[in-house]
């Protein structure tokens, strides 16, 4: 079992629980406790996003997916910043695994996003659409056929996951990938040791489980997923934030736009790594401590309860406030200074009585309140943020990257960006952000 220090940062990130002998990401949990959807209905970007059906659908392959045209509820086409213009404050809430197991967390956060006109990224684990009876269809690199470090879902939960993934896309959210078997740790089978070719196999299989769920389940009475996954899939997050170096050549070959697998970053403006936008989880303030914590629910948990997901309940109110204050602290630090985007990672889990889910809701509501008061705060998906980055002038992004964590632009934004050049095509920059 891997041990964690309560000092410093945890670089495990997504599904770190798996490396600690716990249930990483969703983990096939069948817990039925916790709240259901938070309600809310209506339409329009100012608040609610309806989940209506597309007007027409063209089946793809066996009909598991379909082409339904342009995705609804997308922001206006991004534009480059004008000289001296203050950049928006971007916030990306993302979810690893993205399976619904009866605890109501997936629809709860879809409802929350709908109320506040937010978009999110859902990193779907391909195995969550594959019945356990068909598990031998999965051939994981360096592991036995059918093996998985996370549990397969029941038929009921696969159907619920399909329903919520379909709704998520129709309401403007992004469907990325968390790959399949979630193999962490240091063993030969861990994703940390996979080659680019093995990553290609894993990605191909993850896509096939999404694109062929109808064949694999035999279900013909459920609607298809309303997107072409070959085109929809432009980024992901690896299990436990491991294996990025060998993933990136394959991601680039596949035309991916970004990767969210860096093992911890800082609140600075991102750069490209191997031609892909490198969008890491970040070190954010951790109230009551001199060190910072990675911007993910599990990493906060690991520092609060030393990896226990069921610590004594008397700790929960204080820990919930601390978690929410950590997210909000990261937001406020960036908003008041360098305007670096904030990336937050989560799991649909009821760890420590569900306090981390409550903390995420509290934090998102607080950030949305600033947007609703007129601040240029944008709650977007990773794909939408990559769209914005891609149209920015390289000189402007390079200038933004000179701002350190918590550093205000010298002379204010008008002076700081007023002299940036307005020509150039390549908005990216090679190299890795400081960790």
- Joined tokens for residue 59: 């089946």
Distance, in Å, from the CA atom of 224 to the CA atom of 56, rounded to the nearest integer, reads 12
Residues 6+ away with beta carbon under 8 Å from 95: 109, 120, 121, 122, 123, 345, 346, 347, 348
- The answer to whether residue 242 sits within a structural domain is yes
Q: Encode burial over 82-112: b for 16+ CB neighbours within 10 A, e otherwise.
A: eeebebbbbbbbbbbbbbbbbbbbbbbbbbb
Position 361 in a domain = yes
- Whole-model pTM? 0.88
How many domains are contained in the chain? Answer: 1
Which pLDDT value is given to residue 56? Answer: 81
Is residue 432 in a domain?
A: no
CA atoms within 13 A on the CB side of 398: 16
In-domain check, residue 43: no
The answer to whether residue 40 sits within a structural domain is no
Per-residue tokens: 145: 């056929």
Residue 287 lies inside a defined structural domain of this protein: yes
Residue 297 located in a structural domain: yes
pLDDT reported for residue 434: 32
Q: Which domain holds residue 106?
A: 16-27+86-404
Dist. CA 399–CA 377, nearest whole Å = 21
Run of H or E including 396 = helix 394-400
**125 in any annotated domain:** yes
Look at residue 414 and give its three-state secondary structure: helix
CATH at 327: 3.20.20.370
The candidate with the shortest Cα–Cα distance to 44, out of 173, 172, 162, 133, is: 172
- pLDDT (tens, 9 = 90+) of the chain, 435 residues, equals 232 333 333 333 333 333 333 333 433 333 333 333 333 333 333 344 554 556 689 999 999 999 999 999 999 999 999 999 999 999 999 999 999 999 999 999 999 999 999 999 999 999 999 999 999 999 999 999 999 999 999 999 999 999 999 999 999 999 999 999 999 999 999 999 999 999 999 999 999 999 999 999 999 999 999 999 999 999 999 999 999 999 999 999 999 999 999 988 999 999 999 999 999 999 999 999 999 999 999 999 999 998 789 999 999 999 999 999 999 999 999 999 999 999 999 999 999 999 999 999 999 999 999 999 999 999 999 999 999 999 999 999 999 999 999 999 999 999 999 986 544 444 454 443 332
């Amino acid at each position: 079992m891997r041990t964690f220090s309560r000092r410093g940062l945890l670089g495990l990130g997504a599904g770190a629980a798996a490396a600690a002998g716990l249930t990483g990401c969703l983990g096939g949990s069948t817990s039925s406790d916790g709240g259901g959807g938070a309600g809310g209905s209506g339409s329009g970007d100012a608040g609610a996003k309806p989940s209506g059906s597309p007007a027409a659908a063209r089946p793809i392959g066996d009909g598991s997916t379909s082409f339904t045209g342009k995705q609804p509820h997308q922001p206006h086409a991004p534009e480059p910043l004008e000289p001296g213009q203050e950049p928006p404050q971007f916030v990306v809430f993302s979810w690893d695994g993205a399976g619904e197991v009866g605890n109501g967390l997936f629809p709860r956060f879809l409802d929350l996003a709908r109320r506040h006109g937010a978009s999110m990224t859902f990193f779907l684990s391909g195995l969550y659409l594959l019945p356990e009876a068909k598990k031998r269809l999965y051939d994981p690199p360096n592991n036995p056929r059918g093996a998985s470090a996370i549990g397969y879902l029941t038929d009921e939960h696969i159907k619920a996951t399909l329903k919520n993934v379909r709704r998520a896309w129709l309401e403007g959210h992004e469907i990325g990938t968390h790959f399949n078997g979630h193999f962490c740790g240091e063993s030969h089978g861990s994703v940390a040791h996979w080659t680019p070719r093995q990553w290609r196999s894993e990605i191909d299989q993850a896509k096939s489980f999404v694109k062929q769920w109808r064949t694999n389940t035999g279900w013909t009475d459920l609607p298809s997923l309303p997107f072409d996954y070959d085109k929809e899939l432009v980024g992901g997050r690896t299990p436990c934030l491991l294996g990025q170096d060998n993933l990136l050549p394959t991601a680039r070959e596949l035309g991916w736009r970004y990767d969210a697998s860096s093992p911890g970053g800082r609140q600075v403006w991102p750069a490209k790594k191997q031609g892909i936008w490198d969008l890491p989880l970040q070190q954010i303030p951790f109230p009551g401590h001199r060190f910072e914590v990675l911007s993910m629910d599990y990493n906060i948990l690991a520092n609060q309860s030393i990896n226990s997901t069921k610590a004594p309940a008397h700790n929960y109110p204080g820990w919930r406030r601390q978690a929410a204050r950590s997210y909000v602290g990261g937001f406020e630090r960036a908003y008041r200074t360098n305007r670096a985007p904030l990336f937050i990672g989560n799991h649909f889990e009821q760890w420590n009585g569900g306090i981390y889910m409550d903390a995420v809701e509290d934090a998102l509501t607080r950030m949305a309140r600033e947007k609703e008061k007129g601040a240029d705060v944008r709650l977007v998906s990773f794909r939408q943020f990559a769209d914005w980055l891609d149209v920015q002038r390289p000189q402007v992004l390079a200038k933004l990257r000179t701002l350190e964590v918590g550093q205000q632009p010298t002379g204010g934004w008008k002076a700081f960006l007023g002299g940036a050049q307005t020509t150039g095509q390549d908005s990216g920059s090679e190299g890795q952000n400081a960790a």
